[in-house]
Amino acid sequence: MSEVAVQQPSSGGIMRLWNDKESRSVIVQIIAVAIFFALFFYMGRNAVSNLETLGKDISLDFLGQTASYDISQRLIEYDSRSTHFRAMLVGILNTLLVAFCGIILATVLGFLLGVFRLSKNWLTNKLAYVYIEYVRNVPVLLHILMVHGVIIHTLPVPKNAISVSDSVFLTNRGFFVPKPLFEPMFWIVFGLFVAGILFTIWFRRYAKNVQDLTGKQYPVFWISLGAIIGVPALAFLVLGMPINWDIPELKGFNYKGGMVLRPEFIALWLALSLYTAAFIGEIVRAGITAVNWGQTEAASALGLTRSRTLNLVVIPQALRIIIPPLTSQYLNLTKNSSLAIAVGYMDIVATVGGVTLNQTGREMECMTIVLLLYLTFSLIISTFMNWYNKRIKLVER
């Protein structure tokens, strides 16, 4: 008897795509993206419809109108006759200033706290432990208000200012410091400083390659210090110190001239830095302790000093653990700067999201601008830290 082949009905094209793992993954992603954009379009259309009901439209023309309010802390020229767009730029720069200064100070203090937490000195270890546990268990807003209150109520009025070398004056209205006035020849010094930084970057790589190939070690630190500090300092002296200083002077009820750091900026900067440093300290401690002790013993057996062991063995391995959570702390510090409005510091929230919003009634446009700006700041920080994290990761062989 001849065998009759029984054919199974073939699956449809859609089912074949769905049964394929890669095709199914692409289909699911397309559906998810479509749903997201559909929801986004629905919410946007709903917002526009509600605004039309209230007799409003969406427009950015208000940015060209006169702001009619003053900002005491600013990095660019601004007065009450400037536009809302100019006020927005002032707010952006104030936010970036706090974030930049806060990240630097928090990083330095955090690394010191992390090292102190591992110190064999009982007093140093416990002081760092008490500080970390106290600071990170108290809301950051309370820290900001406390530091601001200490500055306002502890420091004297300008008439009785605390003077440092008759050029720096500490008052409850701000810290008044000399303002540098650069002469044309000073830019030569600045150019040598930049050239020293570029030379240091190149020389560190060159010295590392030489050490890997021959074992020869160059005094990288001292050569770098000479290139960045020594050469510009020598040029500064040879060119006759091409810089003058505008010293603050008491005129009436306040100081005039120089530069001033307002109490609001100082309070926000110190509070955010001290608060974030407590978290960074624990991150650094965890990263260092995660490096196997055998690595340190092996380095000591090879004759490396303690400092060389930290620089070449412990820190490079610890950074691979420290960087990812450190990125989160940098993002938190930047976003926590939005609490500046609590002490009257005019950041992007206080300018565009505060006074400008109240004056123009453009709540949708103002809050969208604020959200997009913070999103941009966060993405820039994340991109840089992810690049650095990728750069120092272990290279598989």
Segment 105-126 shows an average pLDDT of 90
Residue 371's pLDDT is what?
93
pLDDT category, 1, cuts 50, 70, 90? very low
For the packed helices 84-117 and 263-289, what is the interaxial angle rounded to 10 degrees? 40
How many percent of the chain have pLDDT more than 90? 34
Residue 201 lies in a domain: yes
> Which CATH number belongs to the domain containing residue 284 in this structure?
1.10.3720.10
Segment 102-108 shows an average pLDDT of 95
Residue 191 lies in a domain: yes
Residue 208 lies in a domain: yes
Residue 397's pLDDT is what?
46
What is the residue-wise DSSP string for 235-251?
A: HHHHTT--EEEE--EEE
Residue 170 lies in a domain: yes
Structure tokens at 379: 């993405």
The count of domains in the chain is: 2
pLDDT tens sequence across 132-153: 999 999 999 999 999 999 999 8
b/e code 316-354 from CB counts within 10 Å (16+ = b):
ebbbebbbeebbebbbbbbebbbbbeebebbbbbbbbbb
Domain containing residue 199: 179-246
Residue 234 shares a structural domain with residue 306: no
pLDDT at 2 > cutoff 60:
no
Residue 43 CA, distance from chain mean position: 32
Residue 199 shares a structural domain with residue 294: no
What is the residue-wise DSSP string for 122-164?
A: HHHHHHHHHHHHHHTTS-HHHHHHHHHHHHHHHSPPGGGPEEE
For the chain, helix, strand, coil in percent to 5 are 70, 10, 25
Residue 13's pLDDT is what?
65
Domain boundary among 192, 214, 246: 246
Segment 353-371 shows an average pLDDT of 89
Residue recorded with tokens 């270890």:
125
Domain boundary among 219, 246, 273: 246
Say whether 71 sits in a helix, a strand or coil: coil
Residue 387 shares a structural domain with residue 277: yes
Residue 157 shares a structural domain with residue 280: yes
b/e code 292-306 from CB counts within 10 Å (16+ = b):
eeeebeebeeeebee
Residue 118 CA, distance from chain mean position: 26
Residue 26 lies in a domain: no
Residue 384 shares a structural domain with residue 299: yes
Burial of 254 (0-12, 13-18, 19+ CB in 10 A): middle
Is residue 298 within 8 Å of residue 314, measured between CB atoms? Answer: no
Domain boundary among 213, 246, 279: 246
Segment 272-284 shows an average pLDDT of 94
Residue 241 shares a structural domain with residue 272: no
Residue 46 lies in a domain: no
Residue 78 lies in a domain: no
Residue 348 shares a structural domain with residue 273: yes
The one-character DSSP state at 353 is: I
Average pLDDT, the chain: 86
Sign of CA dihedral 170, 171, 174, 180: negative
Residue 309 shares a structural domain with residue 360: yes
Residue 199 shares a structural domain with residue 268: no
Residue 189 shares a structural domain with residue 274: no
Residue 267 shares a structural domain with residue 164: yes
Structure tokens at 205: 């790589």
Residue 353 shares a structural domain with residue 268: yes
Segment 36-57 shows an average pLDDT of 80
Residue 208 CA, distance from chain mean position: 29
Residue 47 lies in a domain: no
Is residue 349 within 8 Å of residue 338, measured between CB atoms? Answer: yes
Residue 54's pLDDT is what?
74
